[in-house]
Amino acid sequence: MDEFPNPEDEYELMYAEELEVLREIEEAEAKKSTTQSTPQSEINQQIQDQKSQTVTTGKNVTIDSQQGSTQLTQQGLTNNHNGTKDPVVKNLFGTRSNGLQSSTVVNGSSCNASTSFDPVVKNLFGTKSNGLQSTTVVNGSSSNASTSFDNSKKRSINQIECDIPSTSKGTIDLDSDIYGSHDRKKPRWDQPEEVMKLILERRNNLHRKESKNGGSTSRKKKVNSITKRVPMHNFVAVTRYTDGERFYVKVCDRSMQSIKVDRSKSKNLFKSFSQLKEEAENILEKNREKALLKPLVSARKENSSSQLWVDKYKPTRYLELLSDESVNRSLLYWLKLWDKVVFDKDTIMRPNKPAPVTKFKNKFKKEDLVPDLDKNGFPTQRIALLTGPPGLGKTTLAHISARHAGYSIVELNASDDRGPEAFREALLSSTQMKAVIDEEKRPNCLVLDEIDGAPAASIELLLKFIHGKLAPKGKKDKVVKNNLGCKRPIICICNDLYAPSLRPLRQMALVLNVPEISSSNLVERLSEIARKEGLNINGRLLLELVHKSGCDIRACLGILQYTGGRSNMLKDLTLGLKETRKGLFDCWKELMRIPTDRRGSLPDSERAKKVMTIVHQGESERLAQGIFHNYPNNCRTKLSTVSKSLDWFEYYDIMNRAVMEHQSWMLMPYTNFAFIAWHLGLASPQMPKISFPSTTFEVNQKIERNQAVLSLIKKKSKLDKNALVTEVLPYLPDLLCPQLRSVNAQLYSNKEKEELRRLVDTMLDFGLTFTQIKKPEGGYQYYLDPNIWDIGVFPQCNSHKSLSHAVKQIVIQELEVTRLQRAAIASGEPTNQNPSAQKSIESRLKSGASKSGSASQASQSSDNVPSHLRTLNPVQIEPVAEKKCRNFFRAFQQAGQEKLKAKQAKEKELGIVSSKKISMAEQEKQNLKDKMQLFRTDITYIFKEGYSNAVRRTVLMKDLLKK
């Protein structure tokens, strides 16, 4: 990773001078120590044995080895240690012999081992003869360690713990605790249950510690860091001068504090031992006092500061998270999977052993969501989506996990502009760049909060971006494969997983459902906060609060803060929270059911109150619909009460109309009283069966469709709607079914022809036609379009006939012809007048009888002549052909005319004066000549059935119909 310079080099550069000084002093120390070595080491040994009562050295070694593998080995610090180890530990032992608080010193030394280049610590050990280490010094040294790690961007478990800024109180104890926990943390990702158990245990310890406020006992554990066997982790080897026995001091790090502070403090470490001890004791005393004072101080602060408790008591470390451990771990694991891409560090893969996996699945179903890496080293799911109801700490979880995994967080939430453009900008800037002004140069992790509110376009953009399909602006990455997509983890947070805009994201993302936290945990945390804030509130009340809010941490804290924990306030509090999540169905059920308690059904006043709270949520329109829809199936009351309740529906309707018509919203609240009446009248003691009121919707759709049909017909017939519905349309289906045989139209008798004509005319008057619709079982059927049957005909009433399929086909044919004729008439053709058009149909219907030379007739009569005998008689077609030819060869004519014109122009040029009339006459003559020439040539025009591109011209209908 070029972004992060080699820690070793950097370190040496930074501390070159100090290193030199260090070395000099060490040499001096070495000389000194040789003189007193033997007795000291023996004492040391004894002390050490005493201190490591709880944990045996052997155990230590194994555990350490585990840790070491992941910890600091890659840092290359050991080389540096090698140069310094002997004298340092020597000194340390020397200190012990002076009879000091050994645990503290050991702790200090262990820290020192990792950070031994630091002049401060250097100095400290330089004065080992004075030998006292105060807690602050330990702190200082450890902070050094952590800063150095920060620079190197390596994250061991220890360091992660340290990363999270701890509260000032009880730092050492907590650290030591955590340290201890990781000592034992042999089971890693492959044994999640154990890890979880451990974490939970630690968490409990943490709470206990905090409440205890003391904790000097825990210090003893620090002896663990010195072992006799070679540990697997980072260590500093120490040889005792007397017997040559080697000890191994573990290298570890501690919480952070700024280096400068340490320096200033360490400056005056060259003091006598007694002085230092006194100081240290003073400091310890002060710390203790501070810890005692704390609740009081914060309680005082609370009044003045406007900070919300929610923010104030936000978890700051991974261990403090309240949310479900499995979810926390899944998210963290997912984040760690990015290590390969982001930090170029091998991720700790979960071993693919089948046994643990199955075990795992049994216990934690959610865990099997956790993905592995794909071939490019990316996690298979490149985005994590946290979902869950509000107030469970999703945002907090995302923030803390990301920090824990070594990222700095860029948050984008609903308050930011999330239009596609702004979104793109934010995405690119946050994932392809990094903060340079910031002290700690962490890579970014994008947290998209409240993503369910983002526009769909933005989410599409996000998906594109993740897969590298978004064309990047600016310079490209140096990595060989350019378009691997986003190289930073993105965590999305939403409340509603099933928001339509999230659909594409849902498929791509690692969906982690944050479940409700256990109420006992929450109560515990709340009571702790209450104690800190100086509230006097009992657990029962808190439990009630937690239940009321539905385990919403945010809501609980908010209520606690603003009610000040007064019990009466809490009782009056009607939290709308739980109710708002109630679905429509639950509301309907509640409205349709008589509520009961132990003594039987509630009094009416209670019921009315309940109803009002339900109705006040809004959606009263839907609620009313639901009641109306569902009451007949559920109510067991008398008809008279039903009718009374229905009167209330009328009332509701009238009120609603008044509201909508005059926009007088002040009437709106009065509609709610109807719900009480319905509830009292229609509710039944049984659990009601509720179905969704879909009929209203269906009916509305039908009405709309029929309305459209009506307005279509009205447009054609120009009749009033009411008259249409009540009088014309009921009879129209019958009128449209004359008795017609399903034979060829030519075979119809005159009477039938008359019927057909009438039918066609009527249909045209009303703008009706038959359309062919494919039936689901196959085959086609003709339906009236617009379908007046929908309006005019009712089920189980008069029987209505329908035309047969064949007849319908004839009707359609006839309909088209008539329509074209009418269109021709309407377009104002002078040749075709109304009666003649009608005549033409009749004449056409008398197919065989009428014979004329018109083309249309010819085609009609062709039924009688076998098609292979059909030829065009040149003599017969001549008049028609003349017409056609003239039109067809108009181009030629025009060419001829142009020629003529050109001739005339020439003549004009030549100065021959000719009158217009003459030229016109000439032109006509010319035309005729051309025509005659055309006919004289042996052009025959054979009509070939089928489609051809060769000859095309527009033929008007009137040409065909004209006699």
Partner 1 sequence: MSLWVDKYRPKDLSKLDYHKDQAQRLKNMVQQGDFPHLLVYGPSGAGKKTRIMCLLKELYGNGVDRLRMDTMTFESASKRKFDISTISSNYHIEVNPSDAGIYDRTVVMDLVKTTAQTHQIDPTGQKEFKVVLLTNVDELTKDAQHALRRTMEKYVGTCRLILSTNSTSRVLPAIRSRCLGIRVPAPTIEEIKTILTKVAKKEGHDLPNELAERIATTSERNLRRALLMLETCRVEQIPYTPDQKVTEPDWQLYIKGIAALMVKEQSPSKLLELRSRFYELLTHRIPSDLIFKGMLQEINKKCDLQLKIQVANLAAEYEHRMHQGSKEIFHLEAFAAKFMSLYKKFMDASMADFM
CA distance 313 to 933: 107
Q: Does residue 787 belong to the site contacting partner 1 (CB under 8 A)?
A: no
> Site for partner 1 (CB under 8 A): which residue of 292, 687, 703, 928?
703
Residue with Cβ nearer partner 1 (477 or 653):
653
Residues in contact with 28: Cβ distance below 8 Å, sequence separation at least 6, in sequence order? 126
Residue with Cβ nearer partner 1 (756 or 877):
756
Residue with Cβ nearer partner 1 (665 or 794):
794
CA distance 240 to 46: 14
Question: Smallest distance from the beta carbon of 850 to partner 1, in angstroms?
Answer: 24
Q: Does residue 905 belong to the site contacting partner 1 (CB under 8 A)?
A: no
Residue with Cβ nearer partner 1 (325 or 755):
755
Residue with Cβ nearer partner 1 (541 or 713):
713
Q: Does residue 184 belong to the site contacting partner 1 (CB under 8 A)?
A: no
Return the range that interacts with partner 1 (CB under 8 A); candidates 50-58, 82-90, 203-211, 633-641. Answer: 633-641
Residue with Cβ nearer partner 1 (609 or 758):
758
Question: Smallest distance from the beta carbon of 689 to partner 1, in angstroms?
Answer: 13
Residue 201's identity, in one-letter code, is: E
CB atoms within 10 A of CB 880: 16
Q: Does residue 675 belong to the site contacting partner 1 (CB under 8 A)?
A: no
C-beta of residue 693 within 8 angstroms of C-beta of residue 585: no
**722-751 footprint of partner 1 as x/- string (CB under 8 A):** xx-xxxx-xx--xx-xxx------------
> Site for partner 1 (CB under 8 A): which residue of 151, 495, 617, 637?
637
Question: Smallest distance from the beta carbon of 657 to partner 1, in angstroms?
Answer: 4
Q: Does residue 695 belong to the site contacting partner 1 (CB under 8 A)?
A: yes
The tokens describing 273, both together, are 């031992």
Return the range that interacts with partner 1 (CB under 8 A); candidates 100-108, 448-456, 630-638, 808-816. Answer: 630-638
Return the range that interacts with partner 1 (CB under 8 A); candidates 61-69, 116-124, 374-382, 754-762. Answer: 754-762
**198-237 footprint of partner 1 as x/- string (CB under 8 A):** ----------------------------------------
Give 637: exposed, middle or buried? Use CB within 10 Å, 0-12, 13-18, 19+: middle
Q: Does residue 901 belong to the site contacting partner 1 (CB under 8 A)?
A: no
Residue with Cβ nearer partner 1 (427 or 736):
736
CA distance 95 to 175: 23
- Cis-peptide, bond into residue 786, ω within 30° of zero: yes
CB atoms within 10 A of CB 5: 15
- CA 474: distance to chain centroid? 28
Question: Smallest distance from the beta carbon of 626 to partner 1, in angstroms?
Answer: 14
Residues in contact with 953: Cβ distance below 8 Å, sequence separation at least 6, in sequence order? 887, 888
Q: Does residue 369 belong to the site contacting partner 1 (CB under 8 A)?
A: no
> Site for partner 1 (CB under 8 A): which residue of 566, 758, 839, 899?
758
> Closest Cα partner for 247 from 89, 387, 435, 405?
89
The DSSP code sequence of 257-314 is: --HHHHHHHHHTT-S-HHHHHHHHHHHHHHHHHHHHHHHHHHHHHHHH----HHHHT-
CA distance 889 to 333: 84
> Site for partner 1 (CB under 8 A): which residue of 12, 201, 496, 653?
653
HEC states along 800-838?
CCCCCHHHHHHHHHHHHHHHHHHHHHHCCCCCCCHHHHH
Q: Does residue 24 belong to the site contacting partner 1 (CB under 8 A)?
A: no
CA distance 645 to 654: 14
The footprint of partner 1 on residues 312-331 (CB under 8 A) is: none
Residues in contact with 538: Cβ distance below 8 Å, sequence separation at least 6, in sequence order? none
Q: Does residue 668 belong to the site contacting partner 1 (CB under 8 A)?
A: no
Q: What share of the chain is helix, strand, coil (3-state, %, to 5)?
A: 60, 5, 35
- Run of H or E residues at 769: strand 769-774
Question: Smallest distance from the beta carbon of 871 to partner 1, in angstroms?
Answer: 42
The tokens describing 102, both together, are 């050994």
Residue with Cβ nearer partner 1 (385 or 635):
635
> Closest Cα partner for 620 from 690, 567, 675, 660?
675
Question: Smallest distance from the beta carbon of 645 to partner 1, in angstroms?
Answer: 8
> Site for partner 1 (CB under 8 A): which residue of 352, 798, 867, 937?
798
Q: Does residue 710 belong to the site contacting partner 1 (CB under 8 A)?
A: yes
> Closest Cα partner for 132 from 88, 102, 90?
102
Q: Does residue 956 belong to the site contacting partner 1 (CB under 8 A)?
A: no
> Site for partner 1 (CB under 8 A): which residue of 303, 796, 867, 915?
796
Residue with Cβ nearer partner 1 (282 or 643):
643
Q: DSSP assignment, residue 477?
A: P
Backbone CA torsion sign across 287, 289, 294, 295: positive
User: Please, what is the Cα angle at 469 between 467 and 471, to 5 degrees?
Assistant: 135
- CA 315: distance to chain centroid? 25
Q: Does residue 657 belong to the site contacting partner 1 (CB under 8 A)?
A: yes
Q: Does residue 718 belong to the site contacting partner 1 (CB under 8 A)?
A: yes
Question: Smallest distance from the beta carbon of 692 to partner 1, in angstroms?
Answer: 16
Q: Does residue 661 belong to the site contacting partner 1 (CB under 8 A)?
A: yes
Question: Smallest distance from the beta carbon of 744 to partner 1, in angstroms?
Answer: 22
Residue with Cβ nearer partner 1 (333 or 631):
631
C-beta of residue 719 within 8 angstroms of C-beta of residue 727: no
Q: Does residue 761 belong to the site contacting partner 1 (CB under 8 A)?
A: yes
CB atoms within 10 A of CB 47: 20
Question: Smallest distance from the beta carbon of 666 to partner 1, in angstroms?
Answer: 18
> Site for partner 1 (CB under 8 A): which residue of 607, 714, 958, 962?
714
Q: Does residue 639 belong to the site contacting partner 1 (CB under 8 A)?
A: yes
Residue with Cβ nearer partner 1 (599 or 636):
636
Question: Smallest distance from the beta carbon of 811 to partner 1, in angstroms?
Answer: 14
> Residue 533 region, left (φ>0) first, then alpha (ψ -120 to 50), else beta?
alpha
CA distance 399 to 411: 9
Question: Smallest distance from the beta carbon of 860 to partner 1, in angstroms?
Answer: 25
CA distance 599 to 608: 18
Backbone CA torsion sign across 199, 204, 210, 214: negative
Residue with Cβ nearer partner 1 (273 or 649):
649
Residue with Cβ nearer partner 1 (606 or 727):
727
> Site for partner 1 (CB under 8 A): which residue of 538, 601, 707, 940?
707
CA distance 449 to 464: 19
Return the range that interacts with partner 1 (CB under 8 A); candidates 390-398, 742-750, 794-802, 921-929. Answer: 794-802
The footprint of partner 1 on residues 137-156 (CB under 8 A) is: none
Size of residue set near partner 1 by CB under 8 A:
62
Residue with Cβ nearer partner 1 (487 or 714):
714
Q: Does residue 916 belong to the site contacting partner 1 (CB under 8 A)?
A: no
Query: Which residues are near partner 1 by CB under 8 A?
Result: 628, 631-633, 635, 637-640, 642-643, 646-647, 649-650, 652-654, 656-657, 660-661, 663, 695, 699, 702-703, 706-707, 710-711, 714-715, 718, 720-723, 725-728, 730-731, 734-735, 737-739, 758, 761-762, 765, 790-798
